[in-house]
Amino acid sequence: MAVKKDRLRRTMMFIPGNNPSMMCDPHIYGPDSIMFDLEDSVKLAEKDAARFLVYHALRTIDFGEVEKVVRVNPLDTPFGRADIEAMVKAGADIIRLPKAETAQDVMAVDRVITEFEEKYGIEKGSVGIMAAIESGLGIINAYAIATASPRLVGMAIGAEDFVTDLKTSRSPEGTELFTARSMLLFAARAAGIAALDTVYSDVNNEEGFRKEVELIKQLGFDGKSVINPRQIAPVIEIFTPTSAEIDFAERVLEAIKEAEEKGLGVISLNGKMVDKPVVDRALRTLKLAGVAGGYRRS
């Protein structure tokens, strides 16, 4: 089966690859994707042990319908190739490449995945890639990265490394991230893949977290990387349409059906124009509501 590009990825939860207790049941918290980390949350001395642990977790634990992502070490480290081999063999759905800076970085990962799909008899093209951009160079090359491989399901921004590369730090308003978030989003949309926002490290600051989620939803992101189960419910809530939004979407679809019956492409609903983009947004609202199993109060 080819890699699933259009599934919902509102929350992608990091799990350090050297922490067996967090690894046993992360799916019970309801993330759309779980992401085992072999990169920056694992120190050098534990890289091989973490790979072994994540391999066995993927082979032996039933994570249900949740998407299984593994953040591997880059290929220019001594661990990258072995990480990809083990994770492809173990049945990971997606390989997340950190610190992607060029299209060549993604193409190299694509080639290694292809080699191990063949070696282990896994259907060619079934393992996806998510590229994380964490530097100025990566942002400058965002569109080339986004179109570098048919395996790409999405791109993510890694703000902690990104602001370090920029020689600044993160502010509550995210001023320093605004341009990068927008450029990544444009590249992802132009390539037809998902755009994921970065982690929010202050896990006890729920108000600040909610503000950031509202911001990235308004910018157009599909979801966010998270680091703690407590961050899942607020993202899902904010990405779930309100009852008023659902009601409006249903009225839009009724109005456009009526317009089509009259041979019109545009119609007015309570004084507002309804045309194809409005209909597309209404369909997306209903899709999000369907997946969320309902709506939130307006």
Give me the residues that bind Mg ion (CB under 5 A), please.
134, 158, 161
Q: Which of 159, 180, 193, 213 binds ligand Q5B (CB under 6 A)?
A: 159
Q: What single letter denotes the amino acid at residue 25? A: D
Give the nearer residue to ligand Q5B in terms of CB position, either 83 or 161.
161
Choices 19-27, 52-60, 106-114, 135-143 (CB under 6 A): range interacting with ligand Q5B: 19-27
Report the partner that residue 15 touches, choosing among ligand Q5B, Mg ion, none (CB closer than 5 to 8 A by kind): ligand Q5B
Q: Is residue 169 near ligand Q5B by the rule CB under 6 A?
A: no
Q: Is residue 55 near ligand Q5B by the rule CB under 6 A?
A: no
Give the nearer residue to ligand Q5B in terms of CB position, either 199 or 255.
199
CA atoms within 13 A on the CB side of 152: 31
Instruction: Give the footprint of ligand Q5B on residues 213-252 (CB under 6 A).
Output: 225, 227-230
Q: Which of 88, 153, 199, 259 binds ligand Q5B (CB under 6 A)?
A: 199
Q: Is residue 66 near ligand Q5B by the rule CB under 6 A?
A: no
Q: With helix as H, strand as E and coil as C, how does the chain read?
A: CCCCCCCCCCEEEEEECCCHHHHCCHHHHCCCEEEEECCCCCCHHHHHHHHHHHHHHHHHCCCCCCEEEEECCCCCCCCHHHHHHHHHHHCCCEEEECCCCCHHHHHHHHHHHHHHHHHCCCCCCCCEEEEEECCHHHHHCHHHHHCCCCCEEEEEECHHHHHHHCCCCCCCCCHHHHHHHHHHHHHHHHHCCEEEECCCCCCCCHHHHHHHHHHHHHHCCCEEEECCHHHHHHHHHHHCCEHHHHHHHHHHHHHHHHHHHCCCCCEEECCEEECHHHHHHHHHHHHHHHHHCCCECC
Q: Is residue 203 near ligand Q5B by the rule CB under 6 A?
A: yes
Give the nearer residue to Mg ion in terms of CB position, either 11 or 135.
135
How far is Cα 290 from Cα 275, in angstroms, rounded to an integer?
23
Q: Is residue 176 near ligand Q5B by the rule CB under 6 A?
A: no
Does 134 belong to an annotated binding site? Answer: yes
Report the partner that residue 22 touches, choosing among ligand Q5B, Mg ion, none (CB closer than 5 to 8 A by kind): ligand Q5B
Q: Which of 3, 8, 22, 219 binds ligand Q5B (CB under 6 A)?
A: 22
Give the nearer residue to Mg ion in terms of CB position, either 105 or 161.
161
Report the partner that residue 225 touches, choosing among ligand Q5B, Mg ion, none (CB closer than 5 to 8 A by kind): ligand Q5B
Q: What single letter denotes the amino acid at residue 83? A: D
Annotated binding site for substrate: 71, 134
Annotated binding site for Mg(2+): 134, 161
Q: Which residues bind ligand Q5B (CB under 6 A)?
A: 13-16, 21-22, 26, 37, 40-41, 132, 134, 156, 158-161, 198-199, 203, 225, 227-230
